[in-house]
């Protein structure tokens, strides 16, 4: 069914859309060049913004694109996961500038509006196609994300992505370790120092002056 809204108006006011969605909405043939030509002209005029191959955002949209809808536009099998899924459910204590999503195929990072969209391979136990939707939920705005319980478990598996500061923080034991460039004290030197301290503690005050023939000021 064709839309009554002209494609030019749809493209420049829609926060996020794909070429496939536009073809289905306006009935363009997959081999037709008219839609790519229209998008190229609108992009040159600054009325649409290029996000990735086949993905665009309207430059005159009233709201920015929903960052959690972008992964599904980039990949058909994308599942919002890890810390990004916790952000989506509102249980994260902060919002990262990176959106993580699971996908079977490799893809380079996409950066749009200072947000990086990073693809992560499915865990090995869920790499089979029939297991990829394990504990996933379809939330508002047609966003597919991992459930809360699975998101917490996945964050433990991918600590470097969800909590990188934990790996960067030195442990309490490492804090008190000697520096690597400090020279170790030989055992004979250490024993000699302990012996000299023990002898000094046994000698009376000022006895070392009499040894060298000087008058002891503490003697009466």
pLDDT in tens, 124-142: 888 888 888 899 999 988 8
Q: What is the pTM of this model?
A: 0.71
Domain boundary among 168, 194, 209: 168
pLDDT digits (tens, 9 = 90+) for 130-187: 888 899 999 988 899 999 999 999 999 999 898 876 555 555 544 444 555 556 555 5
Judge if 54 and 92 occupy the same domain.
no
* pLDDT above 80 (res 88): yes
* Whether the Cβ atoms of residue 17 and residue 11 lie closer than 8 Å to each other: yes
Q: 113 lies in a domain?
A: yes
Q: How confident is the model at residue 97 (pLDDT cuts 50, 70, 90)?
A: very high
Judge if 74 and 38 occupy the same domain.
no
Domain count of the chain?
2
| Sign of the dihedral defined by the CA atoms of residues 128, 129, 130, 132, in that order | positive
Q: 136 lies in a domain?
A: yes
Q: What is the DSSP letter of 121?
A: P
Domain that holds residue 54: 7-58
Residue 220 pLDDT: 46
Q: 163 lies in a domain?
A: yes
Judge if 76 and 49 occupy the same domain.
no
Q: Which single residue is written with the structure tokens 């952000």?
A: 87
Tell me what percent of the residues of the chain surpass a pLDDT of 90.
Answer: 52
Residue 106 pLDDT: 86
Q: 111 lies in a domain?
A: yes
């Amino acid at each position: 069914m064709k839309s009554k809204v002209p494609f030019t108006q749809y493209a420049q006011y829609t926060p996020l859309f794909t070429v496939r969605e536009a073809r289905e909405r306006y009935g363009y043939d997959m081999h037709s060049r008219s839609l790519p030509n229209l998008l190229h002209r609108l992009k040159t005029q600054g009325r649409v913004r290029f996000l990735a191959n086949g993905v665009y955002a309207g430059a005159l949209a009233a709201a920015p694109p929903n960052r959690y809808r972008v992964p599904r536009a980039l990949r058909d099998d994308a599942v919002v996961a890890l810390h990004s899924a916790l952000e989506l459910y509102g249980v994260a204590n902060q919002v990262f500038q990176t959106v993580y999503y699971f996908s079977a195929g490799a893809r380079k990072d996409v950066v749009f509006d200072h947000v990086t969209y990073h693809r992560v391979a499915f865990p090995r136990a869920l790499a089979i196609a029939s297991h990829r939707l394990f504990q996933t939920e379809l939330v508002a705005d047609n966003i597919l994300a991992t459930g809360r319980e699975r998101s917490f478990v996945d964050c433990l598996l991918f600590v470097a992505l969800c909590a990188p500061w934990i790996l960067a923080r030195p442990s309490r034991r490492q804090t008190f370790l000697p520096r690597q460039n400090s020279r170790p004290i030989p055992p004979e030197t250490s024993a000699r120092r302990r012996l000299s301290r023990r002898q000094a503690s046994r000698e009376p005050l000022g006895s070392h002056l009499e040894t060298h023939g000087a008058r002891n000021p503490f003697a009466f």
